[in-house]
Copies of this chain bind each other. A is one copy, B any other.
Amino acid sequence: MERSNAQPGGHLGAATGEHADGRPAGRSEESHGERPGARSGQPPAEPSAAPPVARPAEPTGARTGAADRHPTIRSVAERAGVSKSLVSLVLQGSPRVSDARRQAVLAAIEELGYRPNAAARSLVARRTHTVGVLLHDMRNPWFVEVLDGLNSLLQAHGLRMLMIDARLDRRAGQDFARTFQELRVDGIVVVGTLPDTEGLAEVAARLPTVVAGNHEPRLPHVDLVANDDERGARIATEHLIGLGHRRLAHIAGRGIVGELRRRGFETAVRAHGLTSGAVVESGDGTEEGGYRAAVRLLAPARGTGRPAAERPTALFAFNDISGVGALSAAQEMGLAVPADLSLVGYDNTYLARIRHLWLNSVNNASHEVGRRAARCLLARMERPDAPAGQQLVTPELEIRGSTAPPRPA
């Protein structure tokens, strides 16, 4: 049983997806020191402030509870022998505090492990330094990219993100507006599709709001940042046309984005006078949908009386996953990619980067969308009543191994 030493790490490294660790699950195997009926079946509501604990209720002001889990600014003051106001000044980094006192305060803070209470702070500051982020579905790798971009900028401005996943969390998803308002977040970013538009309109009137990655809700003070799907589709299609393909097919997706990408495809096709050879088949954005659509597009004649010679030689799929479905279909039908069929996907997910698939794909630069959304939000936080803006980010085609010129007829 040889151990062999670790590989120096491949150049392809970037193509992650699941990192250098993973894990298991299923049945259990407790080793817990818990008595069985410990947790009383508390109703799902949020009431009942821990009944058994019963707060000390000590009227006299002397509540310097040593083992108190959270020391306050007063405990610190007392320990340092100064007033709470001075402690506050030190915390703000005020320059007009004598060095001696400052040291004393800092020491006290350290010894007590004092941490300022954010709630109390934001209560008076009227700012939470928190941005609410409404996600549509975290499982979508595209979102993660957007979040990354968003975060990088927000963080640099001292803002943290509070994420709510609308899919995973229907209740919160429904009235995310309420939640975010109660939390008094400084701003809101909606990533992707959102459940109810009217709720959004309501919050937007009160809080700076930006929508990232959707073309949809045009509301008074809400900025929009999205990818230019139509243009991306045009670019992909023109790439295929440029290679010499004349019979093109598109596997469409749903929703506005599906519509835009289909439109881009049709526009390009029309611009080159190839309308007669072009076909659009509908899919649903899933692998299975892509597979079925591809079968319909590539199957020889049968019924339609279409000669095999008229089979499309190039295929532009709504997204990578549909593209992968199409790839499977092609392979099962004995068509080689790219020799017999050129294929382009969309989104440039890491699926496209798997060498086994190696799809050309339109890169929608989600990261940039996130960054811009952040920039918009920051701007809007300063001028809440500015007119709604809109930005489209232009995608680029990532070339890999799934397209080639058509076989000479």
Q: Which residue of B lies closest to A163 (CB)?
A: B163
Shortest distance between the CB of A380 and any CB in chain B (Å): 9
Interface residue? A26 (CB, 8 A): yes
Residues of B within 8 A of A188 (CB): none
Interface stretch among A79-87, A139-147, A237-245? A139-147
Flag if B278 contacts A1 (CB, 8 Å). yes
Shortest distance between the CB of A96 and any CB in chain B (Å): 16
Shortest distance between the CB of A278 and any CB in chain B (Å): 6
Flag if A281 contacts B4 (CB, 8 Å). yes
Out of B144, B252, B351, B391, which one reaches A30, CB within 8 Å?
B391
Flag if A21 contacts B286 (CB, 8 Å). no
Flag if B364 contacts A116 (CB, 8 Å). no
Flag if B206 contacts A366 (CB, 8 Å). no
Residues of B within 8 A of A281 (CB): 4
Q: How many residues of A contact B (CB 8 A)?
A: 173
Flag A315-343 by CB within 8 Å of B: 1 or 0 each: 00011110011011001000000000000
Interface residue? A158 (CB, 8 A): yes
Interface residue? A299 (CB, 8 A): no
B-contacting residues, A265-317, CB 8 Å: 266, 269, 275, 278-289, 291-293, 296
B-contacting residues, A141-191, CB 8 Å: 141-142, 144, 147-148, 151-152, 155-158, 160-165, 168-169, 171-172, 178-179, 181-184
Interface residue? A354 (CB, 8 A): yes
Residues of B within 8 A of A269 (CB): 1
Out of B10, B28, B33, B228, which one reaches A286, CB within 8 Å?
B10
Shortest distance between the CB of A14 and any CB in chain B (Å): 9
Residues of B within 8 A of A70 (CB): 181, 184, 206
Q: Whole-angstrom distance between the alpha carbons of A386 and B69 in the complex?
A: 16
Q: Whole-angstrom distance between the alpha carbons of A125 and B137 in the complex?
A: 32
Residues of B within 8 A of A65 (CB): none
Flag if B139 contacts A253 (CB, 8 Å). no
Flag if B184 contacts A160 (CB, 8 Å). no
Flag if A39 contacts B171 (CB, 8 Å). no
Flag if B9 contacts A44 (CB, 8 Å). no
Q: Which residue of B lies closest to A48 (CB)?
A: B158
B-contacting residues, A123-147, CB 8 Å: 123, 125, 127-129, 136-142, 144, 147
Flag if B192 contacts A282 (CB, 8 Å). no
Flag if A288 contacts B12 (CB, 8 Å). yes
Out of B15, B164, B206, which one reaches A69, CB within 8 Å?
B206
Q: Which residue of B lies closest to A145 (CB)?
A: B139
Flag if B138 contacts A139 (CB, 8 Å). no
Flag if B393 contacts A24 (CB, 8 Å). yes
Q: Which residue of B lies closest to A371 (CB)?
A: B25
Flag A338-378 by CB within 8 Å of B: 1 or 0 each: 00000000110101001111000011111111001001001
Q: Which residue of B lies closest to A276 (CB)?
A: B1
Out of B2, B144, B214, B391, which one reaches A255, CB within 8 Å?
B2
Out of B164, B228, B319, B356, which one reaches A18, CB within 8 Å?
B319
User: A25-B364, A44-B158, A206-B69 given as contacts; is B20 within 8 A of A255 (CB)?
Assistant: yes
Residues of B within 8 A of A42 (CB): 157
Interface residue? A392 (CB, 8 A): yes
Among all A-B residue pairs, the 3 with the closest Cβ atoms: A10-B288, A25-B365, A24-B227
